[in-house]
Chain A
Amino acid sequence: MKIYYVSRDYSPITGLRYCKKTSHSGEDFYHKKLNGWFAEAFQNKEELTIVLDGGEDGYGPSFLDESFGNLIYDFSRDVVERLLHIDSTEDPEWGESVYEETFPVWEESRKAGVEPEKTEEHEPWYKLVGDKLELKVWVHKSE
């Protein structure tokens, strides 16, 4: 099992939902770290734990929703729930809100084909197509 700490492996301070509004946003975290971490775990058939504890001023709901929601959009709820563990001992409600609110809502969006908004151009990222990972820019920055 791979374990990553958001505060240590990404940033001790996190922002809001989109890159265009704040630094260290949920969108930024997803594209710079979480997508790659999860793709690696998927390829290696191992579980992935994301530890939320240790951040300097906690996490905004929009940061969590955007980062973990994008994961659902690109990999599906079924696959994500099978491989991902969110460790948030410091505040269990962070993890609970992701499992109980973000996952179902983003799964609905994924099924409905509603693309997530991108506020910056990102490097190619992984998406599960069938049972294979494909790497490309799936969505461009919205106008």
Chain B
Amino acid sequence: MFRDWIIADYLQASQLVVGVLEIIVTAFMAVWVVRSVQRKLENDRILKDYLARELIALRADVRTFLENLINGSLKGKVIKREHHLLSIRMKDLLSVLNKRYNVDKQCLKSYRMNLMKIVEEDDVFQQKFESEDFVTPLKETTLKLHDLRVKNDHVFNDILLKIYGEKI
């Protein structure tokens, strides 16, 4: 078949082969890029959804803690410990959200620091700090806690919007 070929034929054939190879490689690359991007998008989505679920669970626990605090359903002995555990969860989650989505690490400071400042000023809490008794906070304290909640509850939604790339 190739016996009658001249150099120009060989050149033409090799160009054809190179062209075909180019198409195959380009097609392969395109499929690989699309799959990689898709995989990355899927992973991003999975991570976003996971962090969003964590945040929503945290918000629910913070709300419950505040509710219990205001209603006097927590024992003096456990308030500091429960708040500490919540605070650690807030710190850990914010640390990831800060690295990944640039969420301000300080945005839950009111719940982490100011909340306990309010509670620790309360005479009833001070008296029952080490006891098994339930702490019914003073009226002044409950007002401050309500105020703190009203002013800060939106922060969780703001973080959710930031995770999903919406402008706040």
Residues in chain A within 8 A of chain B (CB atoms):
15-17, 21-23, 56-58, 60-62, 90-91, 93, 97
Contacts and interface: CB of A to CB of B under 8 A. Distances in A.
Contacts of B112: 91, 93
Q: How large is the interface on B (under 10, 10 to 19, 20 to 34, 35 or more residues)?
A: 10 to 19
Specify the main secondary structure of chain B where it touches its partner.
Answer: helix
A61 B113 CA distance: 7
B80 interface: yes
A22 B84 contact: no
Closest CB pairs A-B (n = 4): A58-B84, A57-B81, A62-B120, A57-B84
Contacts, number: 42
Contacts of B113: 61, 93, 97
A15 B116 contact: no
A90 B85 CA distance: 12
B62 to A, nearest CB: 16
B127 interface: yes
Contacts of A62: 117, 120-121
B130 interface: yes
Contacts of B84: 57-58
Interface string B92-123: 00000000000000000100110011001100
Interface string B127-153: 101100000000000000000000000
11 contacts: A15-B130, A22-B130, A57-B80, A57-B84, A60-B120, A61-B116, A91-B87, A91-B88, A91-B112, A93-B109, A93-B113
B127 A60 contact: no
B126 A16 contact: yes
B91 interface: yes
Given A91-B87, A91-B88, A91-B91, A60 B116 contact: yes
Nearest to B81: A57
Contact of B120 (A16, A56, A57, A90): A16
B117 A61 contact: yes
Contact of B80 (A17, A58, A91): A58
Contacts of B126: 16, 21-22
A22 B113 CA distance: 20
Contacts of B117: 61-62
A60 B109 contact: no
Contacts of A60: 80, 116, 120
Contacts of B109: 93
B80 A22 contact: no
